[in-house]
Structure 1
């Protein structure tokens, strides 16, 4: 398994530290152009696969729909430039077909070409996908994930390329459907 070289700017006497993905106790993956080039057993297990079954496979096989894969890619490409890290929450697919909410943190290792080489950390969330049998559209799930991150309607609108008013309408309809009187109640209903 390839190693990742980490450098510290605080300690000039230690030039680098080599870490194997297999040594990291949380689900981690290294990808090139959204193709899984390596992952640890924790990542493979999260999705119900063996590590060897995911190497050199597209992330697309882990999404409920190809449109979810494409939309997430557009969001990440917009936010990964310049070596920044990015975070979101999304619904993913287990090998059995079961869906689950997942928190994803990522960072590109090539700021000029965000998908050329990137590291991602995945964490399963306890949020119910069906949210009490309430059926959400892909857009509503996407908005709920951003609401759960504490983003404002304006921030969500900018990120998704929608107007603030459109986001307000989506949130209002969701609040009405579940009987929530504020954003915190709405988020807790889906947690």
Structure 2
């Protein structure tokens, strides 16, 4: 087997979803990437990544955040809710690396891991999901408010709703619930 064949075999048979994108358009994804999202092997080629997000608003906000993070660090990692072809929402671990930090979304390599068996999706609003993810990252209400361009009071309202939905009594328990992904 030649090196080129071996590289293709490794890419296509990786146990996680792998993707190469240009300007947030799928250029090449492996079989696992397509399967995670419920698509056939080449069905996503040439498609916007927007179709994998719960909403266009989520897609836009994530893109703005990626530009900042990839531009500053060249790499990005988070856990977020994504959307399958069927419309089903699920938790996904996303990691990415820009190939050019000057134009972070122009060319990037991404990995996707389906967390749905370990972390069921609750019916949360987009803003509750955003606040929840940022709480898990350890941001304060003021930092979350700045990042989302909302007031700290609004952050507290969303945090209190999340605490009620998860049936927890304090912030520490909430973060544990939000971050309850087995290692």
Q: How many residues align?
A: 172
* Residue 163 of structure 1: how far off its partner (Å): 4.3
Within 2, Cα distance between the matches of 1:160 and 1:54? 30
Q: Which has the higher helix share?
A: 2
Q: Does 1:149 align with 2:137?
A: yes
Deviations 1:149-183 (A, max 9, x none): 33333443343234444423321332244431222
- Taking a change above 3 Å as real, the CA distance of residues 163 and 19 of structure 1, as seen in their structure-2 partners, is farther
Q: Does 1:129 align with 2:121?
A: yes
Match of residue 175, structure 1, among 154, 160, 163: 163
How does 1:104-123 map onto structure 2 within 5 Å?
Answer: 104-123=94-113
Q: Does 1:43 align with 2:10?
A: no
- Taking a change above 3 Å as real, the CA distance of residues 177 and 99 of structure 1, as seen in their structure-2 partners, is closer
RMSD: 2.4
- Taking a change above 3 Å as real, the CA distance of residues 58 and 108 of structure 1, as seen in their structure-2 partners, is same
> TM-score normalized by structure 1?
0.78
Match of residue 87, structure 2, among 91, 97, 100: 97
Deviations 1:76-99 (A, max 9, x none): 112110452111222111122211
Within 1, Cα distance between the matches of 2:79 and 2:86? 21
* Structure 2 unaligned spans of 5+: none
Within 1, Cα distance between the matches of 2:119 and 2:103? 33
Q: Residues 13 and 32 of structure 2 are in contact (CA less than 8 Å); yes or no, is this contact kept in structure 1?
A: no
How does 1:54-93 map onto structure 2 within 5 Å?
Answer: 54-82=44-72, 84-93=74-83
Q: Residues 24 and 48 of structure 2 are in contact (CA less than 8 Å); yes or no, is this contact kept in structure 1?
A: yes
* Residue 54 of structure 1: how far off its partner (Å): 0.7
The equivalent of 1:27 in structure 2 is: 17
Q: Which moves more between the two structures, 83-92 or 38-47?
A: 83-92
* Residue 113 of structure 1: how far off its partner (Å): 0.5
> TM-score normalized by structure 2?
0.81
Within 1, Cα distance between the matches of 2:40 and 2:99? 26
Q: Residues 83 and 109 of structure 1 are in contact (CA less than 8 Å); yes or no, is this contact kept in structure 2?
A: no
- Taking a change above 3 Å as real, the CA distance of residues 140 and 170 of structure 1, as seen in their structure-2 partners, is same
- Taking a change above 3 Å as real, the CA distance of residues 180 and 108 of structure 1, as seen in their structure-2 partners, is same
Within 2, Cα distance between the matches of 1:19 and 1:108? 20
- Taking a change above 3 Å as real, the CA distance of residues 148 and 59 of structure 1, as seen in their structure-2 partners, is same
